[in-house]
Amino acid sequence: MGLDGKNAIESGRTALGIEFGSTRIKAVLIDEDHGVLAIGNHDWENQLVNNIWTYSLDAIWNGLQDCYQDLAAQVKKQYGTEIRTLGSIGFSAMMHGYMAFDKNGELLVPFRTWRNTITQEASEKLTALFDYHIPQRWSIAHLYQAILNGEEHVGNVDFFTTLAGYIHWQLSGEKVLGVGEASGMFPIDIETKDFNRRMTAQFDELVADKNFAWKLGDIMPKVLVSGDRGGTLTEAGAKLLDVTGTLQAGIPMCPPEGDAGTGMVATNSVAQRTGNISAGTSVFAMAVLEKDLSKSYDALDLVTTPDGSLVAMVHCNNCTSDLNAWVNIFKEFQESMGQKVDMNELYGTLYRKALEGDADCGGLLAYGYFSGEHVTGFEEGRPLFVRTPDAKFNLANFMRVNLFTALGAIKIGMDILFKQEHVTLDELLGHGGLFKTEGVGQKVVAAAVNVPVSVMKTAGEGGAWGIAVLANYMMKKGADESLSDYLGNRVFAGEESVRMEPDAKDVEGFEAFIERYKKGLAIERAAVDILAVEKTDRAV
């Protein structure tokens, strides 16, 4: 790779992807075959300013520049050369949020991130108006909440966008967004792959009495799909990205995307009837739909793939935190017995033990609610374990119920898709900490959703790699080559994965467990109501 990598870098046969995550900005440089040449990182944290979660403009630009310099230093160290040009560039970032600008391009209020839950009134009113679920973190919910609040800046809005859209605009001069990211600003019409015109008109009518100088369609970005050209790196943009002035202008840029879309690319989950599930501290599942849903559901967010297919997303706050806490109890026990603890071995042993349990966990019940859970209607959570005296209380069932309950809320959300909307999926691709012990998390997820679950043998480099792949796709796709074909034929061809079919007995057992789980939510409610948490003790 050394000499080939150096040649690729010096001749510009590369693609660069940079993604702004919640805690890390990551740059991934890839070659024409999508292999990773070098990686750069910059760690950052959001700030709570006047009760708004935000990142300052200085933090954004200093972070981007430091991340790029880290990448450039890695290239210099590994290949003894500098990055003067690139084949293409793409930017992605945490989805949604609100960045509003006046006609001079000045930011009107600090960036409001996805993490803020300050738009409930707007979310509820827009959901009712459109008959389409509008989550609190969507850009349109932030704009309308600002209107409801009577915020002075709203009359001066000339353009509003997301973090990815802002960075792309500053580097290219183009006010555009990839359709996946755009679907977190405002609902998308999947036929036109553009903002929904009916709903845009409804919004304009809703705020007509305010007499703003703008119409909604005029202040939103232009929507592009994967493969479209998103502009080129300007002279000013090149200097913003590379403060040393080494990087040249004129590099093609793909449409900016959100981290959900780049995650779909990185897991080869953009084709219809496929999906992915990420299970760790929190858990979310995405299913690429063949058609629109019959109605809106509070438990389901609708976004799109980077090429414009509709995606239903279920996001739950709680997954493995309580499971990890129980594993730590066993770690303490081992240490108290004077035994040396290998955490990988401990996790593996306990997870595998769960496979020996009764299909329905022997009548045991648990809730791993460290925090509230929107899908089941909880604003706060209380981790809970409960059983009847005659339940089969042994280690296998105890571990099994804690694995099952980690997927309880996501199961309820996914059941809306499968049982009420009759959605069919051919495969779910699993990634995240739950899948580290081979065969266990995979088997439990397959039981929960009754869909084959595959896990890739090699972990990718995540969304930053995903947006680099989209940048490559823009330059290399054939006239009739869809994104899913490109990924299947050129990117993931030969990629080894392990596929597991649902076991009928496990599926039946999970169904019995979930009925117990739903009935037992009254116990969780009582725990929330009775067991108070001191506000000073709660993590921010």
Locate 455 and state its tokens: 């896990």
Nearest to 189 by CA among 58, 43, 292, 81: 292
Q: Does 495 map to a domain? A: no
Q: Do 205 and 78 belong to one domain?
A: yes
What is the Cα–Cα distance from 283 to 367, expressed in whole angstroms? 14
Number of domains comprising the chain: 2
Residue 307 covered by a domain: no
Q: Determine, yes or no, domain membership for 268.
A: no
Q: Are residues 54 and 183 in the same domain?
A: yes
SS3 for 236-264, per residue?
A: HHHHHHCCCCCCCCCCEECCCEEHHHHHH
Asked if residue 242 and residue 331 are part of one domain, the reply reads: no
Indicate the DSSP class of residue 119: -
- From 237, 259, 281, give the residue that closes a domain: 259
In a domain, residue 278? The reply is no
Query: Of 212, 237, 259, which residue is a domain's last?
Result: 259
357 within some domain: yes
The pTM of this model reads: 0.87
**Inside any domain, residue 455:** no
* 47 and 138 share one domain: yes
How far, in Å, CA of 429 to CA of 498, rounded?
10
Q: Which of 205, 227, 259 is the last residue of a domain?
A: 259
Q: Is position 283 within any domain?
A: no
**Is the domain of 211 the same as that of 331?**
no
Per-residue pLDDT of the chain (540 residues; tens, 9 = 90+): 566 999 999 999 999 999 999 889 999 999 999 999 999 999 999 998 998 999 999 999 999 999 999 999 999 999 999 999 999 999 999 988 999 999 999 999 999 998 888 999 999 999 999 999 999 999 999 999 999 999 999 999 999 999 999 999 999 999 999 999 999 999 999 999 999 999 999 999 999 999 999 999 999 999 999 999 999 999 999 999 999 999 999 999 999 999 889 989 998 999 999 999 988 888 989 999 999 899 999 899 999 999 999 999 998 989 999 999 999 999 999 999 999 999 999 999 999 999 999 999 999 999 999 888 989 999 889 999 999 999 999 999 999 999 999 999 999 999 999 999 999 999 999 988 899 899 999 999 999 999 999 998 765 678 899 999 999 999 998 778 999 999 999 999 888 889 999 999 999 999 999 999 999 999 999 999 999 876 433 333
Based on the domain organization, do 188 and 94 belong to the same domain?
yes
At 44, which amino acid appears?
A: W
The answer on 335 and 194 residing in a single domain is no
Question: Can you give the residue range of the structural domain that contains 524?
Answer: 321-406+503-537
Q: d(Cα 211, Cα 80) in Å, to the nearest integer? A: 59
Q: Are residues 245 and 325 in the same domain?
A: no
* CATH classification of the domain holding 193: 3.30.420.40
Check whether residue 253 and residue 368 sit in a common domain. no
Neighbours of 479 (CB within 10 A): 4
222 and 356 in a common domain: no
Which amino acid, residue 494? Answer: G
Q: Is residue 428 part of a domain?
A: no
Residues 230 and 173: their CA atoms lie apart, in Å, by 10
Distance CA 56, CA 527 (A): 39
Are 167 and 250 members of one domain? Answer: yes
DSSP 8-state assignment for residue 186? S
Residues 244 and 325 in one domain: no
